[in-house]
Amino acid sequence: MGALISAPVACIGGMCASCVGSCAVGALCKCCTCRCLASPFKTNVLYCLILFVATTVALVLRYSEQDMAVDTWSTPGSASYTLCEGGRCEGNWAVFRISFTLSCLFLTMLFLTCSESKAAVFAHRGFWLAKVIGVIAVGATTVFMPNDAFAYYAWIARFVAPGFLVYQVISLIGFGYSANTAMVERDDQAPPAPLLCISNSGGNVWKVANLLLCLLLYVGILTGIGLLYDRFPQSGCSFNPLAVTTTLLLVLLNTALSVSSIAPHAALLTSALVSAYGTWVCYGAMAAMPYAECNPLANSPGFVSSVVSICIATGTVAFLTFSAGRRETAKMSAKEVATNAGQLAPAPAAAPAAADAVTVKVEGEEAREDPLDEVAPQSYRGYYFVMLLLSFYLAMLLSNWGTAADGEADAELLNGSYNASLASAWVQLTSGWLCALLYLWTLVAPRLLPDRDFSV
């Protein structure tokens, strides 16, 4: 009797195991090939996840002072010894190795997708298991590479990483202009678009929301600048008053020009966003100063600051990755739509079918059609170029721009911060200045060069 009951159960179990096994093998094969094509949004999310995991691992290894190397000995006079000033940057080598691994991934993808073809689409949106295995293999290989190789990589990253900051600043200014235009157009369209649940019969709701957003941003900017003057020492440290005063002057200058007749194309919302960014990086620069007489945050508890720093760093990298990828994906989608619109032509009239023509439709024929044949050729060189810049920037962001601790004051602060050094402070402050000056140029350029079309 037991045999009669167990036999069907065993049979059903074997069938279920066979089905699950075949599905798993099929899914694994698709992940290894171009058959597993993710959507553009999911592709961006997957790359964001890869960078998020890489950043977390890099920070954990850095704070635990693990170099992720078989041999960490540096001889006096070597490139690694000189970069670390005698070996005082334990943990940074792990950051450089992980950044190098990501750079190899995105550089390879840049070459594979630089030409406009279907193969570029397959390489960009497929082969995910192969990509993960490749990243792990390159990361494992770097363990056996000497630190001197990554000392040279760090020097290269110092010159390449600012390129990502320039890209970020230009994108912020462009976003400010486009956001203001989009809000105004929602009021000007017929009929005016409502704002959430608020009706817009008068056609002014989005303009009012624009002004309220500007007001909130400027209240936050002025409050933040006041707190910077109050909380950070202004005497005995020339960097702090220089940073805050120049930031305040640029805020006032750009805001005044944006509401004047000199720049009729300007937008107050763009000025507010640029000013808010400048104020934020000014705070970041002052908080990154490695001297206790300049930075009251230098005495923060090490463990708590370390945890907060890891959360902030991983969140920052994830946000930068996702936003940069989304911008590049949007550009490629707009280009593809424009290309397809230009190629549209009236189809020739079909010849009348013969009276005796017979059409046979086999059941399941549509299911056998390959969806990959519908993929349009595309290039992703812009996407992977930005990701390559981000990989270099990651090496500098998480290693105090490749600098070693300098003195006792540095040691107190570096115990709880991922981005605290004199170089980091100047880089952040310079990025705020660059953003404000580039926006200032967009305000005055049409007036200085009236014969040139700036498309504003």
Using a pLDDT cut of 70, give the percent of the chain over it.
Answer: 69
Domain layout of the chain by residue ranges: 35-160+378-406, 167-288+421-450
User: Cα dihedral sign for 28, 31, 35, 36?
Assistant: positive
Indicate whether 349 pLDDT > 90: no
Six token digits for residue 366? 């549509």
Which positions ≥6 away from 353 have C-beta within 8 Å?
Answer: none
Averaged over 199-212, what is the pLDDT? 84
Helix, strand or coil, per DSSP, at residue 67: coil
- pLDDT tens figures, 47-84: 989 988 998 898 888 878 776 766 655 555 555 556 66
Indicate whether 234 pLDDT > 70: yes
Residue among 91, 47, 41 nearest 65 (CA): 91
Return the top range by mean pLDDT from 317-321, 364-368, 420-424.
420-424
- pLDDT tens figures, 271-304: 999 999 999 999 989 988 888 788 887 655 455 5
pTM for this structure? 0.78
User: What pLDDT is recorded for position 79?
Assistant: 59
User: What pLDDT is recorded for position 312?
Assistant: 66
Indicate whether 122 pLDDT > 80: yes
- Given a contact cutoff of 8 angstroms between Cβ atoms, the answer to whether 52 and 46 are in contact is no
Q: How confident is the model at residue 334 (pLDDT cuts 50, 70, 90)?
A: low
